[in-house]
Structure 1
Amino acid sequence: MTEKKTKGAARPAKKKKKRMSGQAWFYTIFFTMVIGVVCAIIGYLLIILNGERLLAEHGNKLDFGEASIVYDVDGNEISRLYVFDEHREVAEFSEIPKQLLEAIVATEDRRFYEHSGLDFFAIGRALVKDIVARKAVEGGSTITQQLAKNVFLSADKTFFRKATEASIAVALEQDMTKDEILTMYLNRIYFGKGIYGAKAAAQFYFGTELSKLELWQSATLAAMPKGPNLYNPINNPEESMKRRAVVLQLMYQENYISETEMNEAKAVPYVQPENQNQLKTGSYHAFVDYVIDEAMEKMGIDETELRVSGLQIHTTLSVQAQQAVEKEFADASNFEESKDDQLVQGAMVIMDHQTGEVKAIAGGRDYAQRSWNRAVKPRQPGSSIKPIVSYGPALETGKFTPSTILKNDQKCFGNYCPTDRWGPVEVSMTQAMKDSRNLAAVWTLNQIGVKTGATFAKKLGIPVLDDDMNLALALGGMTRGASPMQMATAYSVMANGGKSVDAHAILRIQKKGKDVYTYTAPESKQLMSSQTAAYLTQMMQAVIEKGGTGTRAAIDRPVAGKTGTTQHGIPGYNGSGIKDAWFVGYTPEWTAAVWMGYDKTDVDHILQKGSAQSAALFAKVMQPALKGIPKRSFQTAEPPEEEEEEEPQPLATVNGLSAVFEKESIKVILSWTASEEPDVTYEIFRKEEGSDTGYISFVDDVAGTTVEDMSVFPGVTYDYYVVAHNKASNAKSEPSNAITVAIPQIDLGTPGIPMEPPEGSEPVETLPVETPQATPDTGGEEPAATPSPTDDGSIGGEAPIETPLSTEASGKMGEEQGMADTQG
């Protein structure tokens, strides 16, 4: 009988695996390490051999890279972005100050004297940080690698280029001393503004010899290779100073300088040397700089790469227009004369509003010296903003036309009381634009709402900030303002029938004959109706006509445009003067924006002539700039469709008008019979016999049937009549019977000294005199005390405004500050 297997019976034992002996482990690790070492040695030898081969083939060239070239719209070369022979000087090692060498080493490669071209410690550290951040946050390139890239390689970012860079770096370390590598590096690196090498940079930025650089100057130069455009002390003085402080901190950590030296060098402000222009030659610098910025954005590369990439950049530049701009900007008679050597500056942008092509740019009268491109720097726009934030959006609502009467009968909007020389009187929108009336513009913005005006402006590319949301926006009261480029673009939309305009200066970019970038216009958008655009053009043509504020902008073509000025805003100074003077306008072919003013406004540096000179400069430039371009005409605005309205039935004529003269109080008491119509008010008309003015409205909106005339004079005869009005139906009666009242001669006595006013009487109202408000210098200013005179000596259209209050569309007020104009 077979035995049953019981639960828990023993199972056959498993075979034990043989463990690797200690000797086997030793040999495995040993041979793995040997293989690794052999591979590393072979790899390192290959790197050295490849680097030596490349040095043998290309070492005699010492090539920075092929120059990128800029061409005008006709394909003619206008600038080479990499002409190092004009902007570089070679320095010997003995000329380089020790502190500059230390600043470069501390900032770019603190282990420079310890490695042999490749810093594996830095590479590993950078790799770890990149992995943790999941993106490239730190580089591991040594100074030798940077030199290899700048001297021998193109700007292409590929694995093979990095490997080649490492090969050359190791070879350089084999063939050159550390001092020679540093010398070559400092002679080759780019310092912005077309300057290559530390020697040329010392002369350009500080007007001194390389060997005489001070600590703060050496640190400033050492800060720039990381970003020549970003850390440039001319372009970005604040960022340059911050980066300089970082360099000095690194030098202190490496024990190159003391804490006292570090703090003293951090605090020194940068001042541009007077002879800075000596290293800058050529022309069209403002336009070329604008092209460089646009090319960097389109290509996604920095300026150094752009300059050495061998690109052919074809632009929209019209040499004819640019030469016209440069000629007039070089003529001092086009600008006010300054009290000292601080010039009255200016900027201008010319644009084809049909294509968005930028045709010419002026960045300043001495742009080659200062390189501060005022064409793209914001300034307060003054009244040139009125078509953009007040009249344009009002027309777009469909409730206004150029002939609409603006009933701006308010002096104040809450606590905000803008003024002009006309006061609160009714005026058509066209006349308000022509005269550049302040109250009309503010009243219109209040009617449509600040939010509506701001939204319209933003669509046109004008940067309206939250702090700008108040009624002072109607007069150019903005925190930062707008640049000539932005103003030209906004006006181009009006000139282009309300369609969007994409400003650009590059048509295409090529490399070795092949297109690497081609401009493609974005889809056109209708930012305002063509009717609104045509209305604005029609209204702004009146500005150029006789009596308008921009008559000096007239040329032999149709012109529409708007002037604008802003008051000086100097705290504690109540004299007249202007900070910004504008004219922005267009012909049917091109749009242009002109700005004039001082870079820094103070009591000794303010304008007096206003926007008339800006308008005149527009004409002087645009006349020759447009030579040979076929003349066109503006689009004509279609008349608005008139709604058929029922003619209101006339009210019954008022009867029984009579008058009584009271001798004691020297007044006439008028009375009449009440109208039978309900909800009627009365308007009384008066005529002084012998006067040429005829009947005038003496008083209106009278609810009763009696009124007193206390403004009569002895010996004068007056005629009166009354008209009834019904506001609900807009109906009115025929004139009542007319009566004549002869005021007898009355002896009032011979006056001696002026009499005191009767006790309790109200004082005569006078216009307020505003005091300028102090604000930070953000490119704008607060209102000054009095309006400035125009060229004919009269007081111009715009006048100072008081500190404005913010408002919503409903017109509610809340405190904010703003800006004002002085004239058209």
Structure 2
Amino acid sequence: MAFIKNFLRFIIICTILGTFAVVILYFYVKPELPSVAVLKDVQLQTPMQVFTKDGRLINQFGEKKRIPVTIDQIPQDFINAILATEDNRFYEHPGIDPIGIVRSAIVLITTGQKKQGASTITMQTARNFFLTREKAFMRKIKEVFIALHIESLMSKDEILTLYLNKIPLGHRSFGIGAAAQVYYGKDLQELTLAQLATIAGLPKAPSTLNPISYPERSKKRRNVVLHRMLVEGYITQSQYDDAKNAPVTARRHGTEIDFSSPYISEMIRAEMVARFGLEGAYNNGYKVFATIDSRNQAAAQKALMDNIHNYDQRHGFRGVKIYLWNSETDAFWSRDDILTYLQSVDEFGYLKAAVVEQTDEQNAYAILKDGSSITIDWDGLKWARSYVTHSRQGPAPTVTSDILHPGAFIWVQQNSSGQYQLSQMPDVSSAIVSLNPQNGAIKALVGGYSFEQSQYNRVTQAKRQVGSNIKPFIYSAAIEHGYSLGTIINDAPINSWNSAQRIAWRPENSPPNYDGPIRVRRALAQSKNVVAVRLLRGIGARNTVDHLLKFGFSPEDIKPHEALSLGAASLTPLEVARGMAAFANGGHLIEPYFIDRIEDAEGNVIYQAQPLVVCNLCTAEEVRDSYHYAPRIISEQNAFLIADAMKTAVYGEPGWVGTGWRAKDLKRNDLSGKTGTTNDVVDTWFSGFNSQIITTTWVGFDDPGKRLGRVQYNNNLTRNQFAGGESGARTAQPAWIAYMREALKGMPSAPIEQPEGLVSVRIDRKSGLLSRKTDKSSRFEYFIKGTAPTQFAQEEVPNLFDPYESNDVATTNEELF
């Protein structure tokens, strides 16, 4: 009895001392313990994702790949694998596992080494969020206290979900959702038992057990997991055997981009960083939905790339830049050597890298980067007459040896029928932007041929001379100052002498044809240069600039000189499209925007775009006092008249066509448009719209002085063919047409509606006066009330309006076709 009493006293004293020691230890480390209440509102470091408006993923930004999953999204097989391997008594213990601790202590006592840990999933969660991975007793003590506190705050399912979304699993994947994508390119629910077991085995040592870097080690670890599942009764013997014998199928998968649109996603990235800072934007799990939809964006990207390659083909093949061997003097490279070389080459756009292995009279045989062999037949080679200068090409080739030889490193692309053809890296650049003119939403935006090749966004960053794309704004100023579409202006050569510089300025039409007295409508539709100069002189350069600044242009870009009438101003495609939108929407200045909404990691909408919207029925006071109405900058009548004159640039009149006549190929009756070509054909433009969409395209070289040149007819080309100079109509408009053909599909006719305050009277097309005739010599013309002619053509010969000659000195002229 004495022994039993002493033993009980010993146990009680040890218990009291142990409890006292734990209390002392708790208060000792308490100041260093973090508040685990934050786990209730934990913010996982989740990358930002960018989507199109219709929900397709276009990019992801963030160092850590993470795809958070909920407990009901995790397959039961995976939960079983984790429990069997990491903590089989997870749902039974209070955060620490006494059995595991005793087992770990026995190993320590018998071996003297810390070979086996006693960490539970809750303790690992505590360590992952608050502590380091160093093996120290004090860290373990802190881990225990934090784990107990976590268990008091959260349910077991919440703890397990947090743990599985937090753990690092190799190759910058954090959490099991990301690991499934990185290693297998699938959602977690799509993985096999063997694949789930592979991921379940990674928490122990993700850097040395992952199946990409160490497939054999990973397989052994996977089989350990499967064996634990079998022992615990989670799987049957047959399931174990099948999974154990399964091959290692993991390979590195990038972010699962559903639809590539890098220029707009980069704009969104920059905006998000400006709003939330780099860390916040990259790690807080924001989902950003752009204003673009995938159908329009895909059409814009294809239209731009096709148009660039068409330009390249017209101007000839710039030749093979690299020969890996000389077929006459060098030994041919082996297939392995060729493939090694090709692996070092980055591919862009449509282009695939290839090396020519052999040729015959009218075929080339090449190997691609993926190891496949292709044949380029004569239809894919014959276009490649040699490039001589920007305005001259060599003769059409007749045999393959006129173009290339074995050993040539070349670029190829697939045509619409899937056949490969010779290509080349484009030298020319382009941009396309499409807006909703009623609210400024960007519907499509492409800033260049390839973002990987050049991150320079030409839609927003390239200020280029706009050529005749400036004329609608000049003519709008003329309407504002008393001119009408029926006003007669003299289309005759101008010769202005500048006594200070002792030079003469002679702006020319392009082509240099002059029609004498013509109406303002026809002058805009046929882009008459000298008429634009006379209008600016009649209005006054300062008044013209004041009017143009209403369209949102910067005073730094719009200067009061006569060259302004010919497009000497430099603007970005987005600025041009924004200005043109005023003619499409009844005279309002919209604000382009590209983010529709932002959601946080839980799917809550934290930002919804509230764009400036057009309200043509609102009073001036209502527009001025409302924060969400786009301000009116010109009258609705002015906007309609210019849009209608630009419509004539597309559809023409009996006896003549406008510069944008090619848009009739779209077979619609609601389109207005304007070409633009600068001096020496350096920049080419086309802008066109109806009331629901405005699109601007630009084509030129990034080198601002490089000419787009001329082409001779190529007998070997079967499409996209012409002879003569490049121009807005020939170079930029084809991309506009190709894009609009897709963007307008399913869109009902959306003409610019005639506003109140206009009258329509029949005038004589030659004189601009009233006409009683109903034949082709007359037409109905729109006038602002009070400005229509009052005399008939046969009663009086019109006085030609010839504005005063300005002393301003112009610096450029323009070609228009």
TM class by shorter chain equals 0.3 to 0.5
TM-score using structure 2 length: 0.46
* Structure with the greater alpha carbon radius of gyration: 1
